[in-house]
Structure 1
Amino acid sequence: MNASDEQVPVVERDAVRCVVVDREGLVLLLRSAAGWELPGGGIRPGESLVDAARRELAEETGLVVDGDQVGEPTWSRQTTFRAGYLRRLQAERIVRVAVDASAPAVRTGGRHLAGRRPDQAYRWWPVADVRESRQRFYPGRLPELLVAFLDDQRIVEPFEAWS
């Protein structure tokens, strides 16, 4: 954080991120101004992790999934980042979401579309391409940890300051 961040309200929240995997093993990432990121967002009061994952996925991608398609949260992390006029301090749990289709069409909008054609707002990535890419990802260690996550290893990631 820098000096200007001292004046910014800090909001703590729990969140869920989704590693969406299609039938071919491709992983869905959404394009934002900061790079490529996993779909997901805040968990509302009283909302279960599974329901939050399903809601966020539908809101950000148009994909509708059943609760049994959402896996256990085997990756947990803490992060902080600027979000408009505030700073989020976020406890994230990351789940796998299995999609029984090959690279289904995605409907994005808002910040993911921001000046892009709809087909540029998302991409189904081969895992090897994520690992080898020089692009920026959120979470920042996604290229390094994705294979372990997909192999069902438990991951507890240290704090990440994201700008």
Structure 2
Amino acid sequence: MMLELPQDLPIVERRAVRLVVRDSANDILLFHTRDCTAPELGTWWELPGGGIDEGETYLDTAIRELREETGIVAHPGQIGRPTWRRRATYRHRNIRRLQNEVVVEVRLSVPGPPIDESGRLDYEKEDYFDFRWWPIAEVLGTREQFYPRSLPALLTAFLAGEEIDEPFEFWS
């Protein structure tokens, strides 16, 4: 099936990794996010993660993105398999991203550590204006908006190790 994207902005396609970072209290890390160039989108809670660079594996990217966005240093044994696969499009900073994503779990052995933002890119420092370690039950029960939008619906199955091939998401 050929995907019809709006021709509203230049399109950049990339592969990406999203991280469900779970601490020893079983809380997960989410960033409170906005796009400063599109205030009409409001705010949402987003899984950490980012694009897979040339020559990187999903594992390399997960470790790098976690360190850059949070200051948390993880080792490969803390990163789960990419059992949740998804494709999505969204507007970001006056481009349209078309992303082929995998979602992996990162298990921490400590309660939610503080976040060090010093490794973030400049736009991330502007867009990520807060973070929170969320109890899983609150993610499942809130009416807040998430990226991915299906996070509350799919989180339990993902954490149980189920294979998920999510339908295409037109986020914005």
TM over 0.5: yes
Structure-1 separation of matches of 2:62 and 2:164: 18
Equivalence for 1:133? 142
Partner residue of 1:59 out of 57, 63, 68: 68
For residues 37-71 of structure 1, give each alpha carbon's deviation from its aligned partner in whole angstroms, at most 9, with x where no partner exists: 10001000110110100111111111110011111
Q: How much identity, in percent, do the aligned residues show? A: 46
Which stretches in structure 2 are left out of the alignment for 5+ residues?
A: 35-42
Give yes or no for the alignment of 1:155 onto 2:155.
Answer: no
For residues 103-155 of structure 1, give each alpha carbon's deviation from its aligned partner in whole angstroms, at most 9, with x where no partner exists: 11112355565498xxx611011100000011111100101110110011111
Task: Return the letter of the residue paired with 1:96.
Answer: E
Task: Return the letter of the residue paired with 1:43.
Answer: I
Equivalence for 1:26? 27
Structure-2 separation of matches of 1:62 and 1:78: 27
RMSD: 1.9
Q: In structure 2, do the counterparts of structure 1 residues 36 and 69 end up closer, same or farther at CA, with 3 Å as the change threshold?
A: same
Q: CA deviation at 1:85?
A: 2.5
8 Å contact kept, 1:37–1:138: yes
Equivalence for 1:96? 105
8 Å contact kept, 1:42–1:52: yes
Q: Aligned pairs, how many?
A: 157
For residues 9-29 of structure 1, give each alpha carbon's deviation from its aligned partner in whole angstroms, at most 9, with x where no partner exists: 111100000000001111111
Structure-1 separation of matches of 2:92 and 2:154: 25
Q: TM-score, normalised by structure 2?
A: 0.85
Give yes or no for the alignment of 1:70 onto 2:71.
Answer: no
Which stretches in structure 1 are left out of the alignment for 5+ residues?
A: none
